[in-house]
Amino acid sequence: MRPTGRLLGLCALSVLTQGARSISLSVNPDGGNASSPLLYGFMFEDINHSGDGGIHGQLLQNNGFQGDSPNLTAYAAVGDVSLAVDFDNPLTSAITRSLRIDVPSGTTGQVGFSNEGYWGIPVDGTTYTTYFFMKGKYSGEVTIKLVGTTSGIEYGKSTLKVTSGDKFSEFNTSFPTTRAPDGDVLYTLTFDGAQAAGDSLWFDLVMLYPTTYKNRYNGLKTQIVDVLDGVKGSFLRFPGGNNLEGASPSDRWKWNETIGPLEDRPGRQGDWTYPNTDALGLDEYFYWCEDMGLDPVLGVWAGFSLDGGGGTPITGDALQPYIDDVLNELEYILGDSSSKYGAWRVANIGRTEPWPLTMVEIGNEDNLGGGCASYPERFQRFHDAIKGEYPQLRIIASTSNSTCLPDPLPEGVWTDYHNYNTPENFYNEFDFFDNVDRSFPYFVGEYSRWEIDWPNMQGSVSEAIWMLGMERNSDVVKMAAYAPSLNLVNSTQWTPDLIAFDQNPTDGVFLTTSYYVQQLFSTNRGDTIKEVTSDSDFGPVFWCASSKGSMYYVKLANYGQDTQALDVKIPGTTTATLTYVANDDPSAYNSDEQHIVSPVTKTLSGNGTFTFTLPAWAVAVLAAQ
């Protein structure tokens, strides 16, 4: 397909002749347009248990009995005791339910409870730490075990002496573990039944952490962070996504309820069917960005809930409390210790310097669900208030739909464009950004192929074509993120997803074909987009080229069943590597049950010209110098 409209002259087509047997590309080493340094990054919200049970390190499910329907999910009795969710013995004003264990008279031996985690517990052989709150008359030993559900093998154990009374007391212990062969492991907490016979004991906010990423308290799961870090992304957009919005204003993600001690975080009924503990909260997101070298992109609630729930959209003077709330949040993030909310940050985490926030997105997908008509007013009011206090911040509108935006759009605003699509449409929209209004930059905050369970080669190649269209226009497309990022295979609300996982500590992370495409494109970035001429039109092969210093990158996608011969000319280069992801079957995919597609790398040599064959259904990067 031939691009229409404005040709950039950079990665743009210059048709000479229609090649019959091969495709010749020639990269112009001179000139070029600057490429966005932030182009590839991550979008995150707690969907598919990507946070609780996923990247967040705390491994026990339902530990604070949060959400709209508290129950005993994940718990079972150990020994002859009975368990109940107790509403009359709260831990704090935030954690208002506890686990009551009724111990019958005459009980002897070890009794207590187990927790199965989030469909298993990964025991990775590192030092584990457990924390719990306990109430009731008891003085004696408590034993913690990590034990195979079916095998009975112990992978970790600790016994500590405790004394508890009529108020909750906190206890903790750390212990070494042995790596388990799978995630079929239970956490058990038991005590001497004879010491509590005829009474009840209460437990709350029972937590279990492996050694977390960079040893952060309440930190992230290293196994998943390492895979994300392999993409070498540039930014993280959080906390959503739909999970920002809530079913009503009272159900929205509230920043001030996600900070401070975990016992002061009430959690909420998340927007993807399950409760959120909010142990992965505002400060934890910023630590995540700091530890992975990511630029934070903070989403703030803008007066609209999912599908207009709870009487939204909110307009006029009724917006002011929510605007004030966002300003308070920004003061917490950016204020010094002399400010009210900056001092709160210092008190909570001891951080005197502000978090390095530069980008704020107002709302989420306000072009959907009846939010469009009111968004110009809502956006303008939040924009003006934020810029009035923090003029240095980059503001992002949650939609690129001009009918949903103020006219004129305030200077410097970026807009968010989402594209969940079919492979055929991604193919046909390769030149989409050639023809957009270039007066304001774009953030492609969410995109991926949809209507399939796992990313496959056809979908991943089509995503690469869309990405080539973004990259060759990266003077106007500033950032882009595949979405969703993560998926616990036992609890899926949306497919496909970039990275899937279960609780196996050894090989429980599953790298999809789309993951490898994201990794190829993100780890091979130039800073200048280069002009490419060719003797062939785009389709089924698409391309774009960039450079950084003496290194050149030519990115390619072959959306078809035939192999393609290519000659790529890059003056002044002598060596190259060709790395590609490919499979002859367009429906080939990686999953939790199979891994059949992996990157392949070949070394090429040439005097400024590299000749090679691009496989069928392939995404490739030629890196030359």
600 φ, ψ (degrees, to nearest 5):
-120, 135
- Final residue of a domain: which of 209, 238, 264? 209
148 touches 233 (CB < 8 A) = no
Residues 279, 205 share a domain: no
The pLDDT value recorded for residue 131 is: 98
Residues 223, 106 share a domain: no
Q: Is residue 14 part of a domain?
A: no
Strand ranges (E), 559-617: 564-569, 575-582, 600-605, 609-614
Structural domain including 116 reads: 75-209
Question: Is the pLDDT assigned to residue 291 strictly greater than 90?
Answer: yes
* Beta pairing, strands 75-78 & 110-115: antiparallel
Question: Is the pLDDT assigned to residue 11 strictly greater than 50?
Answer: no
The pLDDT-based confidence of 13 (bands split at 50, 70, 90) is very low
Q: Can you say how many angstroms the Cα of residue 157 is from the centroid of all Cα atoms in its chain?
A: 33
Q: Is residue 519 part of a domain?
A: no
Residues 185, 79 share a domain: yes
Residue 70, preceding peptide bond in cis (omega within 30° of 0): no
Q: Can you say how many angstroms the Cα of residue 220 is from the centroid of all Cα atoms in its chain?
A: 12
- Mean pLDDT of all residues belonging to the chain: 95
Distances (CA, A) of 22 to 7, 258, 563: 24, 57, 10
Identify the weakest region by mean pLDDT among 211-215, 280-284, 311-315, 437-441: 437-441
193 φ, ψ (degrees, to nearest 5):
-60, -30
User: Domain containing 350 — which CATH number?
Assistant: 3.20.20.80
User: Domain containing 93 — which CATH number?
Assistant: 2.60.120.260
The pLDDT-based confidence of 18 (bands split at 50, 70, 90) is very low
Strand ranges (E), 37-118: 40-43, 75-78, 82-86, 98-102, 110-115
The pLDDT value recorded for residue 8 is: 36
Question: Is the pLDDT assigned to residue 625 strictly greater than 90?
Answer: yes
Task: Give the integer Cα–Cα distance in Å for 225 and 20.
Answer: 46
The pLDDT value recorded for residue 17 is: 31
Mean pLDDT, to the nearest integer, of 460-482?
98
Q: Is residue 69 part of a domain?
A: no
Residues 393, 250 share a domain: yes
Residues 180, 129 share a domain: yes
The pLDDT value recorded for residue 19 is: 35
Q: Is residue 560 part of a domain?
A: yes
Summarised one tens digit per residue, pLDDT across range 557-598 is: 999 999 999 999 999 999 999 999 999 999 999 999 999 999
- Final residue of a domain: which of 209, 224, 259? 209
Mean pLDDT, to the nearest integer, of 329-352?
98
Residues 556, 483 share a domain: no
Provide the phi-psi class of 539: left if phi over 0, else alpha when psi is between -120 and 50, else beta.
Answer: left
Q: Which residue, among 237, 408, 236, 385, has the nearest Cα to 302 in the 3D structure?
A: 385
| Beta pairing partners, 419 | 447
Mean pLDDT, to the nearest integer, of 220-239?
98
**pLDDT above 90 coverage of the chain, percent:** 96
Question: Is the pLDDT assigned to residue 15 strictly greater than 50?
Answer: no
Q: Is residue 522 part of a domain?
A: no
The pLDDT value recorded for residue 265 is: 98
291 touches 263 (CB < 8 A) = no
Joined tokens for residue 140: 């004696």
Three-state secondary-structure class, residue 140 = strand
Residues 251, 181 share a domain: no
The pLDDT value recorded for residue 564 is: 97
Residues 433, 311 share a domain: yes
123 touches 185 (CB < 8 A) = yes
457 touches 589 (CB < 8 A) = yes
What single-letter DSSP state applies at residue 494? S
Joined tokens for residue 299: 């989403």
The pLDDT value recorded for residue 5 is: 26
| CB-count exposure of residue 73 (10 Å: 0-12, 13-18, 19+) | middle
At residue 229's C-alpha, the angle toward residues 177 and 353, to 5°, is: 95
Summarised one tens digit per residue, pLDDT across range 195-222 is: 999 999 999 999 999 999 999 999 999 9
144 φ, ψ (degrees, to nearest 5):
-105, 135
- Final residue of a domain: which of 172, 192, 209? 209
Q: Is residue 590 part of a domain?
A: yes
At residue 620's C-alpha, the angle toward residues 619 and 622, to 5°, is: 165
Question: Is the pLDDT assigned to residue 419 strictly greater than 50?
Answer: yes
Summarised one tens digit per residue, pLDDT across range 80-99 is: 999 999 999 999 999 999 99
The pLDDT value recorded for residue 16 is: 29
Residues 580, 487 share a domain: no
Provide the phi-psi class of 419: left if phi over 0, else alpha when psi is between -120 and 50, else beta.
Answer: beta
Q: Is residue 369 part of a domain?
A: yes
Question: Is the pLDDT assigned to residue 10 strictly greater than 70?
Answer: no
The pLDDT-based confidence of 58 (bands split at 50, 70, 90) is very high
The pLDDT value recorded for residue 2 is: 21
Q: Which amino acid is at 497?
A: D
The pLDDT value recorded for residue 21 is: 60
616 touches 560 (CB < 8 A) = yes
Distances (CA, A) of 392 to 295, 334, 412: 15, 11, 11
The pLDDT value recorded for residue 12 is: 40
Residues 198, 160 share a domain: yes
Number of domains in the chain: 3
More confident residue, 606 or 390: 390
| CB-count exposure of residue 192 (10 Å: 0-12, 13-18, 19+) | buried
Task: Give the integer Cα–Cα distance in Å for 10 and 4.
Answer: 14
Task: Give the integer Cα–Cα distance in Å for 621 and 604.
Answer: 12
Q: Which residue, among 232, 231, 240, 235, has the nearest Cα to 258 in the 3D structure?
A: 240
Q: Which residue, among 309, 304, 299, 321, has the nearest Cα to 377 in the 3D structure?
A: 304
Task: Give the integer Cα–Cα distance in Å for 556 and 619.
Answer: 6
Residues 499, 572 share a domain: no
What single-letter DSSP state applies at residue 120? B
Residues 263, 128 share a domain: no
